[in-house]
Structure 1
């Protein structure tokens, strides 16, 4: 008999990411995340899946904490991947006194023969490897690394680092002199001296040479079909830190090392470069900030010779459809793999993923005329995918492997064979999808998860899509969940926290207020200079409809959200008193602090969202800050904030707590040590579980038990 889910069920979940097909499409590999012994971390191993159904999935790699980023060799005989295994099995003399996880050279590329044998290390760069791609002939890799030199000695020399062998000497200086913004990154720490560049690595010898340099990072390398050039994305503007939202495409000549621009202009934001098979054009995702911070990614084509490198250059293939490839769907158990473009055989079409009506789907768009075909359809979330030409000689079709989840199912690998159709826009020309794995079958069979019910309200001319996780018994307690971003969205994706609340007898309502992605550029930009009042009305309209229909008890309402969702939670309880309890997570209370601290500080994003900066118009930023209205807050509030959050720094939570406590309001501050902005999605497992207990206990106290005062300070659970 299935039972209600518990927070500690999180320990049992196996989460698949990074699907990759072999060149002939007969094999697929996924990265499988599991919880490490002791629940203090994760393990990532590679699993091989036979797409023909001739064998059961099997584990390929063992013995490392993290094996990730799998890539089949072009001949399909071996698999390259990034692993930290040297941190476990090697204890190099220069690192003997340091913890393994602190080794800068820990993550390297390894090569595993698929017909048997041990994986061998291909790279030995002093600051490790962040990503790589095979050359078309399989002889070389392009590698992304923050190394300056190919050896530790050379790297130290270029960085002017002197390492003393005298044990009596004082340690080297750890002072950090900063001369540009964006010198930190949430989850990574200080990044001002960790600038990623492209390297060439010979597969036969492991010898490495640097292709690019400079004070800005180069990312997303893509080989040309002839192997002579590599496209990549970079922000190479002067004072790039003052315009961090910009990104252009470049091509580097592998032999001559010269770099040419493919896109250009003061408002370019292009990424995910992909060559068409003829080598004459490069496809990419991006925009020119037509909608400010709410701009929509479109699919573009640019001349590979650089002749489109001008402010109005390139051809937009997808503008008429108002889709949003690369939009961020929220899930706490199904990580997104990021945006990808893959051309069909012959380059007549481009495959991509994009949301529609709360689902995430696969699509194909014709290069010649922009004709659009929808390849999948369902109440699901496709969080990662890959495609290769069909195995039949002369076929124009493609084989796609993708990770599919839903509100009540975790990601599994599915297969789709897609023919090149001639249908009208948004029609389906694909075969029936085939499920290849059931990674959590035993766990999910034990649990009774709640299916969401789709809902809609109309306000100010906007259709607001939402969902209700219902609980039996008519008008029941209800918690409103608000997503972050603000340019992200909820959909048919699994949310473990929502299921935990529903299991406690508390209904959950979540929706996509104005400013959410997935509904076109106009809706995405509808919160321009309006992070509070408009989105608040959208959320409360959804609550009002539930109360009016007898699905929610108006006297037992709660509200919570994280990041921007925390901002809107703070805003709502400062302007509305209907909620009996609130929990604000990694939130924003002071907008001036948001744009002057952390990894999104500076005026670029502020201008895109509000046409102003805190130093140019301090009164306006005071007006849009929830802390300005703290004197109106009477709702019992739990403020949760991670101490290593560099996105919305803990000063945001501290300030709101200080003000409310000083006014003797019912408030409590929960500081989470060692964690970042990503606590609920990828934080340490035992802290994620403990946080789920906290959420459940807080709302149970007020909404189920009917208490009015703050609960006693909870005992320490330690994730149990």
Structure 2
């Protein structure tokens, strides 16, 4: 069967749904969809609308050269999004918040922020108030008698840095980088907007000849800074507005020796006054959500992990008074006997329960958690992973995105009984060249270990690719455009996607089997389930390979040093020398909550470089700050030290991306990535001649 997965150009051109919002009346769903741009070197988002009842066809709402994102819907049904499209404010190079009226008409900007708008943090259901994020330079201080002067100061300082080509950043706290970008010099703030102040621009708003332009356009609602002098405390801010728009409940960072702990605070939108309501040493309070009636806040409380093990993620609720005060004394935990980790939560219509998604047994169902202390109910019972839950304010319609390894994200509506209606999508689901089976085995310690087996067409026996997930707190439970087993299946490989120790969705004990011991139970789990799959008649156990990225790359390195059973091993963005990695990753404080000194030494893969027998393809991006390039460079150096012939030749390869990050996201580079992996596996697993990808020179 010919599918888009047989051709990388066709595959990279497939449109992808990646965001969802719902109108308050539940009549329509708004989607963001990414599509390949004209020069095939990036993706651009557009905004679409589809009926929420499962009928009709998608309607495109936006078209711009720079694309749109961060979609939200106001109480009146207007669509908010962030876009870098030009506007009449003159801030052409910065993304602004735009509004597309529900009644029809052109989109219009609602901000003119010098550094651009980050995204919508929250909208109020009974008021025109919006909370959004935006970055400001710390020296951009305004005056008390000129509310918009801080924006003028920010614009002037940005221009001076740009004119003088100053790129230096002064850090006063840790961390200094995150994933693939430097932190600073500007700092994220939370701003409040009252969209009721938005009006049409007229001649009176334009300065007369010889007059200076106003600090901020008079026809736009004036942003109010709710978080002056935030430093880096809002790098990961999350929050919700009370229905009246008067109070923001937010999860913000409180500075520690290295990094931040997440605390729950309330912010008065009118005055900006902040009250810390839940803060504990070594505990994070995250994902705050407010009920539809504004009387209850729910959030996730998690004690920090230590090398002794991870802890439960607890769901808590507390009351909110009419003045926005949170009842701290009355806070209580719900779902105390539930051993899953919630990834998101929303209040159902009527506020009697929370709807929650969480990994479970290789899926990610929707669960219902009653607020009265009742037992947790699993709402969906299928092989799908659900995410992006949204509840229509007026009608209670529940919509979400869902995916599996056989279908990418697409919009659905979920009924109260758990039945699902598939909605129209502007990104039709592609035909896949495979079938999928649930596989499992029992390890020597009696633990059940399971995974997915993606099988190509034909009876086999098929060559086998063991693909190890990243994380490590993760599960192979849904589609990935970047890591696609379907591309391997199209080339005849069976792909094993296992969830070894440390994987989520199997309870805390399963995670802690691998804590401080990455090279132990995770490794033996992987080998045990590989043994079970290789025993199948449709698998050729003589033609096998292993592959992984990030934590999966660590495991690929560990596998390489501990067995010669695989004909080839691909290791992407991998941890290699743990003591070196310890101080160079962007999040060393988290890393040190996983390993103690003994565990780090005992589970360090670089100690076993001399034992590596399988040819390795090493892949790394220079802009990867989570697993810095030094890991890939040292791995390559030590492979050469121990395995190069006198003439310098090796069976190994090193694919290096100077301008890519942890994932390698640019379409043209993703294509080169797969072409190189295909060629390397074809040489060593299938016995074909090595073919250097054309664009690698």
- TM-score of the alignment, normalized to the shorter chain, above 0.5: yes
Q: Cα deviation per residue 1:622-659 (whole Å; 9 max; x = unaligned)?
A: 44221121111121111000121111011101101011
Q: 2: distance between equivalents of 1:59 and 1:506?
A: 38
1:180 is aligned to 2:196: no
Match of 2:612 among 591, 610, 633: 633
1:476 aligned partner? 462
1:330 aligned partner? none
Q: 2: distance between equivalents of 1:511 and 1:54?
A: 37
Structure 1 residues 581 and 164 mapped into 2: Cα distance closer, same or farther (>3 Å)? Answer: closer
**C-alpha displacement at 1:172, in angstroms?**
4.9
**For the Cα contact (< 8 Å) 1:470–1:508, is it kept in 2?**
yes
Match of 1:521 among 495, 503, 508: 508
**For the Cα contact (< 8 Å) 2:679–2:691, is it kept in 1?**
no
Q: Secondary structure at the match of 1:465?
A: strand
Q: Secondary structure at the match of 1:235?
A: strand
**C-alpha displacement at 1:255, in angstroms?**
2.3
1:346 is aligned to 2:331: no
Q: Secondary structure at the match of 1:198?
A: strand
Match of 2:403 among 398, 402, 405: 405
Structure 1 residues 308 and 115 mapped into 2: Cα distance closer, same or farther (>3 Å)? Answer: closer
Match of 1:667 among 632, 652, 657: 652
Alignment of 1:190-269 (within 5 A): 190-203=182-195, 204=197, 205-213=220-228, 214-218=230-234, 219-239=237-257, 242-244=258-260, 246-269=261-284
Q: 1: distance between equivalents of 2:290 and 2:326?
A: 15
1:607 is aligned to 2:592: yes
**For the Cα contact (< 8 Å) 2:55–2:423, is it kept in 1?**
no
Alignment of 1:163-174 (within 5 A): 171-174=164-167
1:279 aligned partner? 294
Structure 1 residues 51 and 364 mapped into 2: Cα distance closer, same or farther (>3 Å)? Answer: same
1:294 is aligned to 2:310: yes
1:426 aligned partner? none
**For the Cα contact (< 8 Å) 1:513–1:539, is it kept in 2?**
yes
Q: 2: distance between equivalents of 1:475 and 1:57?
A: 42
Structure 1 residues 39 and 570 mapped into 2: Cα distance closer, same or farther (>3 Å)? Answer: same
**For the Cα contact (< 8 Å) 1:407–1:451, is it kept in 2?**
no
2:359 aligned partner? 355
**For the Cα contact (< 8 Å) 2:115–2:155, is it kept in 1?**
no
Q: Cα deviation per residue 1:395-439 (whole Å; 9 max; x = unaligned)?
A: xxx311111222222222111232xxxxxxxxxx24x32211244
Match of 1:555 among 542, 545, 548: 542
1:366 aligned partner? 370
Q: 2: distance between equivalents of 1:277 and 1:53?
A: 25
**For the Cα contact (< 8 Å) 1:497–1:692, is it kept in 2?**
no
Q: Secondary structure at the match of 1:451?
A: strand
Structure 1 residues 53 and 469 mapped into 2: Cα distance closer, same or farther (>3 Å)? Answer: closer
Match of 2:285 among 270, 292, 296: 270
1:28 aligned partner? 29
1:486 aligned partner? 472
2:208 aligned partner? none
2:341 aligned partner? 324
Structure 1 residues 51 and 357 mapped into 2: Cα distance closer, same or farther (>3 Å)? Answer: same
Q: 1: distance between equivalents of 2:160 and 2:393?
A: 55
Alignment of 1:477-626 (within 5 A): 477-493=463-479, 497-601=484-588, 604-610=589-595, 612=596, 617=597, 621-626=600-605
Q: 2: distance between equivalents of 1:497 and 1:322?
A: 30
Q: 2: distance between equivalents of 1:110 and 1:629?
A: 55
CA RMSD of aligned residues (A): 2.7
Q: Secondary structure at the match of 1:178?
A: coil
Which region of structure 1 is more displaced relative to structure 2, 632-641 or 62-71? 62-71
| TM-score normalised to structure 2 length | 0.87
Q: 1: distance between equivalents of 2:154 and 2:16?
A: 40
Structure 1 residues 222 and 552 mapped into 2: Cα distance closer, same or farther (>3 Å)? Answer: same
2:99 aligned partner? 111
Structure 1 residues 574 and 91 mapped into 2: Cα distance closer, same or farther (>3 Å)? Answer: farther
1:417 aligned partner? 415
**For the Cα contact (< 8 Å) 1:130–1:145, is it kept in 2?**
yes
Q: Cα deviation per residue 1:436-493 (whole Å; 9 max; x = unaligned)?
A: 124444x72xx44212111111122321111212243444321110000111110253
Q: Cα deviation per residue 1:239-272 (whole Å; 9 max; x = unaligned)?
A: 4xx144x211100112232211221111221212
Q: Secondary structure at the match of 1:542?
A: helix
**C-alpha displacement at 1:342, in angstroms?**
1.8
**For the Cα contact (< 8 Å) 1:32–1:47, is it kept in 2?**
yes
Structure 1 residues 165 and 274 mapped into 2: Cα distance closer, same or farther (>3 Å)? Answer: closer
**C-alpha displacement at 1:684, in angstroms?**
0.9
**C-alpha displacement at 1:216, in angstroms?**
2.9
1:700 aligned partner? 682
| Gap regions ≥5 residues in structure 1 | 327-338, 392-397, 419-428
**C-alpha displacement at 1:351, in angstroms?**
1.3
Match of 1:315 among 308, 313, 332: 332
Q: Secondary structure at the match of 1:319?
A: coil
**For the Cα contact (< 8 Å) 1:216–1:234, is it kept in 2?**
no
Which region of structure 1 is more displaced relative to structure 2, 137-146 or 112-121? 137-146
Q: Secondary structure at the match of 2:541?
A: strand
1:378 is aligned to 2:369: no
Q: 2: distance between equivalents of 1:457 and 1:670?
A: 35
Structure 1 residues 19 and 164 mapped into 2: Cα distance closer, same or farther (>3 Å)? Answer: closer
Q: Cα deviation per residue 1:500-522 (whole Å; 9 max; x = unaligned)?
A: 21221221112000001111122
**C-alpha displacement at 1:116, in angstroms?**
1.8
**For the Cα contact (< 8 Å) 1:262–1:302, is it kept in 2?**
no
